[in-house]
């Protein structure tokens, strides 16, 4: 059954290619969408870039036919601009001057509904009410559409599974007691690992390349081992005894994290780390980076670059005083806090001389060992031999993540850190953010190592831990 999809502006702003994702169905763009694209075309950052990309796409279609009549798309279906239905009435509490409500008027007009009466422009054979679907990233607009009887959906092309079903990069399995010694020496085949259900039945789980495993001996479950999937075998961790920059893992999640971070860039060029605040994601990533550059300078990396999605050179940050680094510094304060703990490991005397501590941090930045850059300056570059940390990566869009990962040059290690439950960006959630998107699509790659740190592995103050349990 051919359907008609009415697209909201925010769909094109997030995914300019969205018009190619509806197969043989019809796409309708209300005139107000073109007006909003026009208002956004000069915007800085990804919003402006995607608006301009959408406009260029419409221009290409205009050259091929009449957009009011409909232009055939390469992948099937048609796209047209709708300028009618300005006289369609909405409920009194939906003001007609609002852009979202103008989109609803188009949907209602297409569906042939005008306060319960058939529209004069309604053509039942072409567009039936059940076939008119509003596609928008705006939850409130979807709610308003439902209230007035319009079917509404989210754009799910880039969505992944719900949080509980997302890939964690880790798994707990059992192995036969007699294979424990063999595992410690050279590993065991993956088919030796199994999981047990409530009825006592055994089954072999689906294991992905580089997935971390907590192995328990089936005859004595207190015997636990840590391993990783490598091809058709489960092998012990290589860096279990390492102490990067003097830091020791405190739980199994940090052992897994250390293993992924310590691997050389040619073996593990992409590391994806998810976990709540306090699980030492940024702290441990910096520790390993400093270990590679200062304690054991093998020349593997030239520098550490740290960037955050909220540090972009757009209109907002442009009003801050100073040069590039001075503008970014306030947004990088969490990174500096972690550096202070790493540089001076003596907790009792760390803050006795604040000036000395600040001098040590400034020296690292002054030597160029650690650089902080706006995300806009990371994209589009070919970064070579760099330990690249993208903090708060849950605030990235899938397109931004693609732009970062695909720009990694030879010898560069890209580390994506974030918590999908702490998203600050409009129209992103735990299913559509770039961190979750990259995690789901890169699982199984031999070049990608992933780990999700559990809440129980949070290493914070007693108050913070109590708040995690209670709030």
* pLDDT bracket for residue 348 (50, 70, 90): low
Q: Is residue 117 part of a domain?
A: yes
For the chain, the domain total comes to 3
Pick the last residue of a domain from 211, 236, 261: 236
Residue 260 domain-assigned (yes or no):
yes
* 149 and 166 assigned to the same domain: no
Report if residue 242 sits inside a domain: no
Do residue 209 and residue 63 come from a single domain? Answer: no
In the predicted model, is pLDDT for residue 357 greater than 80? no
- Are 186 and 332 members of one domain? no
Per-residue pLDDT reduced to its tens digit, 167-223: 999 999 999 999 999 999 899 999 999 998 777 778 888 999 999 999 999 888 788
On whether both 309 and 437 belong to a single domain, the answer is yes
Q: Are residues 165 and 75 in the same domain?
A: no
Q: What is the pLDDT of residues 142-155, one digit of tens each?
A: 999 999 889 999 88
Structure confidence by residue, pLDDT tens digits, 73-97: 988 899 999 998 888 888 888 888 8
Per the structure, the complete domain to which residue 108 belongs is given by 4-153
Question: Which pLDDT band, with edges at 50, 70 and 90, does 295 fall under?
Answer: confident
Q: What is the domain-level CATH number for residue 17?
A: 3.40.50.1010
Query: Which pLDDT score is estimated for 53?
Result: 93
Say if residue 319 is in the same domain as residue 384.
Answer: yes
Range with the poorest average pLDDT among 84-88, 253-257, 278-282, 357-361 = 357-361
Residues 118, 216, single domain; the answer is no
- Picking from 174, 207, 236, the residue at the C-terminal end of a domain is 236
Q: CATH number of the domain at 292, please.
A: 3.40.50.300
Decide which of 236, 258, 273 is a domain's last residue: 236
Tell me: do 320 and 457 sit in the same domain: yes
Tell me the CATH number at 166. Answer: 2.30.130
In this structure, of 18-22, 33-37, 117-121, 161-165, the range with the lowest mean pLDDT score is 117-121
Same domain? For 399 and 454 the reply is: yes
Assign 3-class secondary structure to the chain: CCCEEEECHHHHHHCHHHHHHCCCCEEEEEHHHHHHHHHHCCCCHHHHHHHHHHHHHHHHHHHHCCCCCCEECCCCCEEEEECCCCCCCCCCCCCCCCHHHHHHHHHHHHCCCECCECCCCCCCCCCCHHHEEEECCCHHHHHHHHHCCCEEECCCCCCCCCHHHCCCCEEEEEECHHHHHHHHHHCEEHHHCEEECCCCCEECCCCCCCCEEEEEECCEEEEEEEEEEECCEEEECCCCCCCHHHCCCCCHHHHHHHHHHHCCCCCCCEEEEEECCCCCHHHHHHHHHHHHHHHCCCCCCCEEEEECCCCCCCHHHHCCCCCHHHHHHHHHHHHHHHHHHHHCCCCCCCCCCHHHHHHHHHHHHHCCCEEECCHHHHCCCCECCEEEEECCHHHCCHHHHHHHHCCECCCCEEEEEECCCCCCCCCCCCCCCHHHHHHHHHCCCCCEEEEEECHHHCCCCHHHHHHHHHC
108 and 74 together in one domain: yes
Which tops the pLDDT comparison, 253 or 199?
253
């Amino acid at each position: 059954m051919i359907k008609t999809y009415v697209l909201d502006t925010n769909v094109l702003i997030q995914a300019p290619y969205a018009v190619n994702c509806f197969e043989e169905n019809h796409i309708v763009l209300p005139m107000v969408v073109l007006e909003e694209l026009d208002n956004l075309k000069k915007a800085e950052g990804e919003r402006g870039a995607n608006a301009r990309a959408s406009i260029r796409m419409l221009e290409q279609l205009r050259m091929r036919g009449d957009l009011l009549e409909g232009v055939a798309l390469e992948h099937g279906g048609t796209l047209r601009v709708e300028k009618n239905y300005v006289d369609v009435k909405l409920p009194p509490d939906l003001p007609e001057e609002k852009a979202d409500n103008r989109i609803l008027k188009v949907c209602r007009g297409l569906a042939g509904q005008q306060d319960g009466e058939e529209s004069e422009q309604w053509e039942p054979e072409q567009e039936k009410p059940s076939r008119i679907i509003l596609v928008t990233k705006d939850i409130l607009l979807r709610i308003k559409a439902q209230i007035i009887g319009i079917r509404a959906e989210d754009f799910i092309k880039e969505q992944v599974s719900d949080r509980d079903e997302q890939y964690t990069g880790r798994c707990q399995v059992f192995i036969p007691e007699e294979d424990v010694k063999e595992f410690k020496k050279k590993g065991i085949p993956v088919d030796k690992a199994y999981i047990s259900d409530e009825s006592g039945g055994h089954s072999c789980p689906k294991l992905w390349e580089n997935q971390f495993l907590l192995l328990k001996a089936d005859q004595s479950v207190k015997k636990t081992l840590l391993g990783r999937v490598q091809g058709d075998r489960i092998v012990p961790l290589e860096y279990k005894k390492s102490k990067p920059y003097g830091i020791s893992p405190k739980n199994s999640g940090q052992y897994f994290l250390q293993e992924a971070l310590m691997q050389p860039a040619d073996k593990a060029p992409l590391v994806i780390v998810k976990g709540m605040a306090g699980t030492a994601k940024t702290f441990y990533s910096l520790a390993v980076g400093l270990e590679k550059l200062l304690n054991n300078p093998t020349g593997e990396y030239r520098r550490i670059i740290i960037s955050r999605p909220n540090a972009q050179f757009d209109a907002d940050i442009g009003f801050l005083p100073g040069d590039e680094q001075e503008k970014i510094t306030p947004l990088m304060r969490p990174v500096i806090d972690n550096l202070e703990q790493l540089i001076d490991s003596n907790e009792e005397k760390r803050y006795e001389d604040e000036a000395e501590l600040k001098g040590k941090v400034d020296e690292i930045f002054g030597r160029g060992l650690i650089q902080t850059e706006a995300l806009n300056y990371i994209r589009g570059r070919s970064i070579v031999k760099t330990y690249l940390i993208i903090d708060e990566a849950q605030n990235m869009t899938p397109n931004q993540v693609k732009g970062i990962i695909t720009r990694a040059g030879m010898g560069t290690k890209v580390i994506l850190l974030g918590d999908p439950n702490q998203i600050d960006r409009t129209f992103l959630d735990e299913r559509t953010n770039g961190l979750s998107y990259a995690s789901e699509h890169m699982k199984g790659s031999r070049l990608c190592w992933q780990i999700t740190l559990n809440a129980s592995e949070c290493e914070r103050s007693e108050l913070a831990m109590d708040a995690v349990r209670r709030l």
